Structure 1
Amino acid sequence: MFPAFVASGFAIAGAVMMFGPALIHLLNRNRYRTVQWAAMDFLLEAMQSNRRLLRIRDLLLMILRAAALLLFGLALARPYFTSDTDPQTTAGTSRPPHAILVIDNSLSSTLESISGSALDQAKEQARQFVETLPSNSKISVLPLSGSQTHRIADPFSSRTDAIDAIDKVAATHGAGELTHALNQARSLAEELPSHTPHVIVFGDQQAAQWQRLARTSPPEEEMPVLLVGSEGAPPGNAWIEDFRLPDGLAELGMNSRLVATVRYQGDSPRHNVAVTLRVRDHEIETKFVDFPAGDSTRTLAFDYVFDPMEIDPDRTTSLPISVSLDGDALTADDARWLVVPLLASTPVVFIDQWSDAEESPALGRVGDTWILRQLLSPPSDSAGTEQPLVRAIHLSQREAEGETLRAALRDARLAVVSGIETPSASLVDTLHSYVQQGGQLAIAASGSFDPAAWNEFAWRGGQGILPRPLGTETIGHSLDELSEDLRPFRIASKGLLDHAYFHIANLDETQLIDLYTDALFFKTVVPQEEANHPSASPDTSQLPTQPPWLSWTPPITLLTSGNNAADTSQNRATTIAQFDNGIDFVVQRNVGKGQIVFFSSGVSSNWSTLPSTNAVLIFDRVLRNQLASTFQRFNFAVGETALLPLPPGAGDASVQVEAPGSGVVRSVSPRFLNEATRGVLVENLDTSGIYWLSDRINNDPMSDSPEMASRYRLPLSATPAAWESELGRLDQQQFDALQLPSQFRWQESATAIGGTGINLSGQTWWQWLIALVIVLLLVEMTVAATPPWLAWLVERGSSSSSSNAAS
């Protein structure tokens, strides 16, 4: 028991020792004396002041640090704000922008200056603009001209990728098609609905480009389009506006006239500008012209005789020729090229009421095609053996039957029918088959022409050889009818020159109108509209097909190549000339691969005075253009796709295409253009000049090595658009005068285009936010140091408040 007692005692003693002081403290709390000590009052006042100072400092530090963190995070996000001053658009949205950059790389962009080309300046503006865009923007780059516009890349998310795409935009000699670029921009915008599209056009803002767009009356839409102005006025520019062979073909051994149109625009005159004709790069002739200040045009005619020794009489040969002038700041338009098809001669079949044996010009008995034969195949005074371009084959209606007619037409590219009273079914069948295969046919109403009979046998519900049905009655009377009711009429001048048929070199519009309206007409048949004729909708499903029997191949185009060749047999006829009494004079219609042209009057002297006046050239112009259309096309516009057949025996080897100027050679694989013809499709004609197609393995075209000799070497030309040489630039006043829809806006290049151009603001605020964060951190460090002046300021505030309380 003792040990337990002792243990209990020790436990009680320990508890007393532990809780004793606390118990004594609690018992003595209420027994204290308040002693008034003056020094303690100052100590308490100091403690309260320090506590207030620390509380203010901590609150200020918390505000500064929180604001610095918030502004730093906001700066990292690079915020921006959208705004719009035009209520008709929807640019003021919360969606990030999709900047579609259209860069003008057309011919006019190659204009050189001290600060570089116009394209270089446009690309620099585009690069600067990209740097101002928010980080979440999408960027698309569209070249305005050239084959690159056919490839729309996905929008870029990276500024670096967008700038690389801008740097890769290369200059072309093509035309700037704003309508095409805006359509592509619209397609890009539709593919990215999560962003707000903005189109920005960088370039020289050529006035001619925007005038062409304004004439198309673009619709109003929500996608804004910004024009960034170009600095500086363009220099004066002279260029070759047109270069052509009026007839389209050259007659070997005979003088051919080549017509060049030279134009100049500038504030100061230019004198002694040399214009040079070259054939196969050999200088032939140089002429000098002067241009006054302003806008002026000069037409120059060069005469050249093509040497028959250069021509293979068994096939058509093409020859490249060019005309150029002294270079200026825009060199791309200082020359223009032309590939002229040459051939020894080509037969043309003339069918009328008399044969060669029955004709007697001395007795005044000639067929109605006699005047046309004299126009196309005039007798030569030369004692040489050269044949004219047209070799006339004259047949009477009686001879033009069966195999005789087919044999004459087999090599002919053009057939002319006039003076036939009533066509036979065999004649109509053969001529229709001839036109279907690609032949050209011209029919003239004259002599004893019976419109009712022709309508019955030759219209055939649109499947004959008439382009339109004819009225059964004629208008007027011929001179041999001895009628006193002669009411002559003339060719109407309105719309006459809209067709290239009626253009003649060295004659302006006034002279051409005077020429063609000189003749009087007394009698005509009346072509009717198909809709007014009961047989205007023929059933072509049961028409028999005949194997081709022509010895020559009609020209192949993109429409006629491939399995789905264009069926032009039901193309509606078009009127290309009328009389002043409203009756159609010249009507044409495509049938199969060929074309039919119908003259309602004119060849016979009993029907008109046309054969005895210079207005008879209207037949020469139409017939020669018909003949030229039967040859393969070798002249294309820059940006077009060329389709060329290869010569027989070319084989399956790849074709080498040599670009002009650069000498770059690329390979193109041949393809079947139709069942019997192989050819090539040449794309990317972005440079003006002569392209050469050959099977040469060696890239050196001047190589004389036999093993490198080419079996063929074909030229084709690419010609720039003439209006691209008009360098006048748009300004704010001219832009307003265009009256484009409200989504088109003008922006001066001197103004920052980042915000105002794309309706954004605040893209550069992040820089100011970072600067403000730095300022806040400096203030925070200053406050945390608690300098003496801050404590003194707080003490002064406390003492003043105490004094106010005591008073």
Structure 2
Amino acid sequence: MFPTFVASGFAIAGAVMMLGPALIHLLNRNRYRTVQWAAMDFLLEAMQTNRRILRIRDLLLMILRAAALLLFGLALARPYFASPTDNPASAATSRPPHAILVIDNSLSSTLESISGSVLDQAKQQARQFVETLPANSRISILPLCGSQSQRISDPFSSRLDAVDAIDKVAATHGAGELSHALNQARSLAEATASHAPNVVIFGDQQAAQWQRLARTNPPEEAMPVLVVGNESPPPDNAWIEEFGLPDGLAELGLTSRFVATIGYHGKAPRSNVPVTLKVRGNEIETKFVDFPSGDSTHTLFFDYVFDPMDIDPTRNTSIPISISLAGDALTADDSRSLVVPLIAATPVVFIDQWSEAEESPDLGRVGDTWTLRQLLSPKSDSSRAEQHLIRAIHLSQREAEGETLRAALRDARLTIVSGIEAPSANLVDTLHSYVRQGGQLAIAASDTFNPAAWNDVAWRNGQGILPRPLRNETIGHSLDELSEDLRPFRIASPGLLDHAYFQIANLDENQLLDLYTDALFFKTVVPQTEASSAASPPRDEERWLSWSPPVSQLPTSDVASTTSSAVATTIAQFDNGIDFVVERKMGQGKVVFFSSGVSSNWSTLPSTNAVLIFDRVLRNQLASTFQRINFTVGETALLPLPAGAGDANVQVESPGSGVVSSVPPRFLNDTTRGVLLDNLNTAGLYWLSDRAMADPLSPSSETSSRYRIPISAKPVAWESELVRLDQQAFEALGLPGQFRWQASTASLTNAGLHLSGHSWWQWLICLVIVLLLAEMTIAATPSWLSWLVRRKANGEASAS
């Protein structure tokens, strides 16, 4: 018991000892004395003042730093605002812009000056314009010329990518077609409907380009088009406007006349300008031309005789010809190239009423095709063997049957039928198959020609060989009918020279009309003008021709798969309204019908110079059967390869630069292999071979490859007219309201996009810098803030 009591006492004592101080503090808590000490009053007041200063400084620093961050982010976003405009086609929109930059890289853009080429200046303007666009813009770079694959790309979202695309725009020798560029721009705009399209055109703003666009009457639409002018005056310029060989074919051993048209535009006259003709790179002849001031053209003729030794019987021989003049500021148009195929003894079949053995010119008994044979393949009295372009194969109607006819037609590219009263069904069938496979057929009405019989056998509702059905009755009387009712008529001159058939380079328009209208006609058959040819059903035909027609621009599976015949067209008329020359496309070939003129009983045409009308038409028909090897810059060329070319890639050497590219061969149709060239962007000679050659013009290079094929590309003549638009001339074109002009010297910032606030980001960055400087100043030197607080406090104390 005792120990327990003692322990309890100790516990109570310990508790009292622990609670004692607390009880004493509680009992004496309110018993201290407040002593007023002046120094402590000043200390307390200073602490309150400093706390207020720090609170105000921290608040200012927070505001400045938050504002700097906010404005910096806003500057990075580059804000803009749509601004109203008076042009309804350029109405303001809240969508971000899609800038479609059209850069003129046509032939005229290669013009050099002290400040660089026109293309370089346009690219520099485009780069500057890209830098002004908002960050969320879409940018499309659209070269005005070039192959389709090089012109269209997806819009860029990065300015760096857009600038890189601008730098890659290369000059071409093509023609700038603004209508095509605007169509492509429209397609790009439709692909990005979330952005507002705006087209900006950079270049020399060539007047000829815009005049061609104005003639298309572009519709008014909601896609603004800004035209950035080029105010520098163009220099004087001379150029090769045209260069060619009539009919495109040359006869060996005979003089071939090349025709060159030289154009000039300038304020100052130029004299003794040399113009040089070269064959295979060798200078043949140089002539000199004087140009007066202003606009002028000169036509020059160069004669050259191709040596028969130039023909290689084992391969097709083509000779490169070029013409050039003394260079000026625009050198790309100072020369032109032409490839001339050398062809001899091309078979042409003539079918009339007499055979070769039955004819006797001394007795006046000749077939109706005799005049045409003498015209196309004249025979001289010289004992020298001549290699004419045409080798005449003469058959009578009796001989022109079955395998005999097929054997004659197998190698022939042109067949002429005249003087036949009525054709046989077999003749019509064979000629129909011949034309569908690519042969050219000419039919002339003369002598005993019976239109009713021809209609029954050769029209066949458009499935025969007549381009149009014929009336059963003829008009007029032949001279051997001894009629007193002769009413002669002539070839009508209106519209005659619209067709290339009847144009001769060394004769002007009046001379040509006098030539063709000199002949009198007494009798003619009448092609019906209102007749539609029925569609030819697709069918499989045996191909029996030994040659293939030219490859078209679009490959077809086979010539027999052509499903329709083209509508017949009138090429020439008589002044009494009757059609004189009618042609119709049929399969891969063509039929030309002459309603009169071969027989001297029907007209005076064979005895006058107007007989050249047959020469022009028939030679053009023959030339159309050969593969095309002369193109215009920007065209797509389909070229067949020679037999045995193999599967190796074709090496294509571009003109001037010597750059060699490799093109894989392809099937152009079921039987023909060839290549497709869609990058003929430079004027001059291209060489196709199975390996690259150091000097394609060197004869020693011929043995270095199994084949080499030259082709030429010529520029468009109007691209050499360097006259440029100014704002007044641009407004005179009468283009729709979406087209606007902007002088090149004006600022391109926000030009034409109707957006405001584009330059605000620069001011925002400046304001951010000011705010940061203020924040640094406040954080580093707060004494001025303490002075303001103390001054305010003293003012309040004085007021109290």
Normalised by the size of structure 2, how large is the TM-score? 0.90
Instruction: State the distance in 2 between where 1:300 and 1:403 align.
Output: 49
Query: Deviation per CA, 1:120-177, whole angstroms, max 9, x where unpaired?
Result: 1111111111222222222222221112654533222222222222111111112223
Contact 1:654-1:668 at 8 Å conserved across structures: yes
Aligned to 1:417: 417
Residue 679 (structure 2) aligned to one of 664, 669, 684:
684
1:311 Cα deviation after fit: 0.7
Contact 1:53-1:791 at 8 Å conserved across structures: no
Aligned to 1:663: 658
Instruction: State the distance in 2 between where 1:658 and 1:286 align.
Output: 28
Q: Within 5 A, what are the aligned runs for 1:11-22? A: 14=21, 17-20=24-27, 22=29
1:506 correspondence with 2:513: no
- 2:612 counterpart SS class: helix
- 1:174 counterpart SS class: coil
Instruction: State the distance in 2 between where 1:50 and 1:694 align.
Output: 92
1:570 Cα deviation after fit: 1.6
1:205 correspondence with 2:166: no
Aligned to 1:162: 162
Contact 2:654-2:686 at 8 Å conserved across structures: yes
Would the alpha carbon gap of residues 602 and 84 (structure 1) be closer, same or farther in structure 2, given more than 3 Å must change?
A: farther
Aligned to 2:537: 540
Aligned to 1:598: 593
Query: Deviation per CA, 1:556-595, whole angstroms, max 9, x where unpaired?
Result: 2233544587616521111122223332221111112211
Contact 2:560-2:587 at 8 Å conserved across structures: no
CA RMSD of aligned residues (A): 3.5
Query: Deviation per CA, 1:79-102, whole angstroms, max 9, x where unpaired?
Result: 122224144235522222222222
- 1:247 counterpart SS class: helix
Instruction: State the distance in 1 between where 2:560 and 2:631 align.
Output: 21
Residue 629 (structure 1) aligned to one of 624, 628, 637:
624
Aligned to 1:524: 524
Q: Which piece of structure 1 moves more, 85-94 or 103-112?
A: 85-94
Query: Deviation per CA, 1:379-405, whole angstroms, max 9, x where unpaired?
Result: 325442113222222333233223332
Contact 2:130-2:159 at 8 Å conserved across structures: yes
Instruction: State the distance in 2 between where 1:213 and 1:434 align.
Output: 43
- 2:506 counterpart SS class: coil
Q: Within 5 A, what are the aligned runs for 1:256-271? A: 256-271=256-271
Query: Deviation per CA, 1:753-777, whole angstroms, max 9, x where unpaired?
Result: 1212332332221121121223334
1:773 alignment partner AA:
V
1:748 correspondence with 2:748: no
Contact 2:437-2:560 at 8 Å conserved across structures: no
Q: Within 5 A, what are the aligned runs for 1:110-121? A: 110-121=110-121
- 2:72 counterpart SS class: helix
Contact 2:436-2:586 at 8 Å conserved across structures: yes
Instruction: State the distance in 1 between where 2:316 and 2:387 align.
Output: 15
1:59 Cα deviation after fit: 7.3
Contact 2:89-2:220 at 8 Å conserved across structures: no
Query: Deviation per CA, 1:269-323, whole angstroms, max 9, x where unpaired?
Result: 1111111111101111111111111111111111111000111346542111111
Residue 759 (structure 1) aligned to one of 751, 754, 759:
754
Residue 581 (structure 2) aligned to one of 580, 586, 590:
586
Contact 1:49-1:795 at 8 Å conserved across structures: no
1:385 correspondence with 2:385: yes
Aligned to 1:215: 215
Aligned to 2:644: 649
1:246 alignment partner AA:
P
2:636 alignment partner AA:
T
Q: Within 5 A, what are the aligned runs for 1:41-52? A: none
Instruction: State the distance in 2 between where 1:70 and 1:21 align.
Output: 59
Aligned to 2:4: none
1:252 correspondence with 2:257: no
Aligned to 2:571: 576
1:683 Cα deviation after fit: 3.3
Q: Which piece of structure 1 moves more, 162-171 or 10-19?
A: 10-19
Instruction: State the distance in 2 between where 1:437 and 1:741 align.
Output: 49
1:18 alignment partner AA:
H
Q: Which piece of structure 1 moves more, 327-336 or 578-587?
A: 578-587
Q: Which piece of structure 1 moves more, 152-161 or 64-73?
A: 64-73
Q: Within 5 A, what are the aligned runs for 1:305-344? A: 305-313=305-313, 316-344=316-344
Would the alpha carbon gap of residues 230 and 382 (structure 1) be closer, same or farther in structure 2, given more than 3 Å must change?
A: farther
Contact 1:98-1:195 at 8 Å conserved across structures: yes
Would the alpha carbon gap of residues 225 and 400 (structure 1) be closer, same or farther in structure 2, given more than 3 Å must change?
A: same
- 1:757 counterpart SS class: coil
Q: Which runs of 5+ in 2 are unaligned?
A: 1-7
Aligned to 1:408: 408
Q: Which piece of structure 1 moves more, 412-421 or 375-384?
A: 375-384
Contact 1:461-1:538 at 8 Å conserved across structures: no
Would the alpha carbon gap of residues 465 and 21 (structure 1) be closer, same or farther in structure 2, given more than 3 Å must change?
A: same
1:288 alignment partner AA:
F
Q: Which piece of structure 1 moves more, 358-367 or 130-139?
A: 358-367
Aligned to 2:5: none
Instruction: State the distance in 1 between where 2:283 and 2:786 align.
Output: 94
- 1:276 counterpart SS class: strand
Instruction: State the distance in 2 between where 1:799 and 1:653 align.
Output: 100
Instruction: State the distance in 1 between where 2:268 and 2:653 align.
Output: 39
Would the alpha carbon gap of residues 471 and 21 (structure 1) be closer, same or farther in structure 2, given more than 3 Å must change?
A: farther
Aligned to 1:285: 285
Contact 1:143-1:149 at 8 Å conserved across structures: no
Aligned to 1:38: none
Would the alpha carbon gap of residues 630 and 106 (structure 1) be closer, same or farther in structure 2, given more than 3 Å must change?
A: same
Contact 2:347-2:412 at 8 Å conserved across structures: yes
Query: Deviation per CA, 1:530-550, whole angstroms, max 9, x where unpaired?
Result: 64x6xx436635x6x542222
Aligned to 1:134: 134
- 1:631 counterpart SS class: coil
Instruction: State the distance in 1 between where 2:427 and 2:520 align.
Output: 31
Aligned to 1:77: 77
Would the alpha carbon gap of residues 160 and 564 (structure 1) be closer, same or farther in structure 2, given more than 3 Å must change?
A: farther
Would the alpha carbon gap of residues 707 and 103 (structure 1) be closer, same or farther in structure 2, given more than 3 Å must change?
A: closer
2:171 alignment partner AA:
A
Instruction: State the distance in 2 between where 1:794 and 1:621 align.
Output: 110
Instruction: State the distance in 2 between where 1:42 and 1:798 align.
Output: 14
1:730 correspondence with 2:725: yes
Would the alpha carbon gap of residues 158 and 288 (structure 1) be closer, same or farther in structure 2, given more than 3 Å must change?
A: same
Identity %: 73
Q: Which runs of 5+ in 1 are unaligned?
A: 36-40
Query: What is the aligned residue count?
Result: 792
1:11 Cα deviation after fit: 7.8
Aligned to 1:552: 547
- 2:184 counterpart SS class: helix
Aligned to 2:100: 100
Query: Deviation per CA, 1:633-676, whole angstroms, max 9, x where unpaired?
Result: 11111122222222233333333222221222233333333444
1:496 Cα deviation after fit: 1.8
Instruction: State the distance in 1 between where 2:271 and 2:429 align.
Output: 61
1:6 Cα deviation after fit: 6.4
- 2:622 counterpart SS class: helix
Contact 1:670-1:678 at 8 Å conserved across structures: yes
- 1:489 counterpart SS class: coil
Would the alpha carbon gap of residues 16 and 438 (structure 1) be closer, same or farther in structure 2, given more than 3 Å must change?
A: same
Q: Which piece of structure 1 moves more, 13-22 or 641-650?
A: 13-22
Instruction: State the distance in 2 between where 1:615 and 1:185 align.
Output: 51
2:537 alignment partner AA:
T
Instruction: State the distance in 2 between where 1:674 and 1:405 align.
Output: 28
Q: Which piece of structure 1 moves more, 290-299 or 45-54?
A: 45-54
Instruction: State the distance in 1 between where 2:689 and 2:16 align.
Output: 127
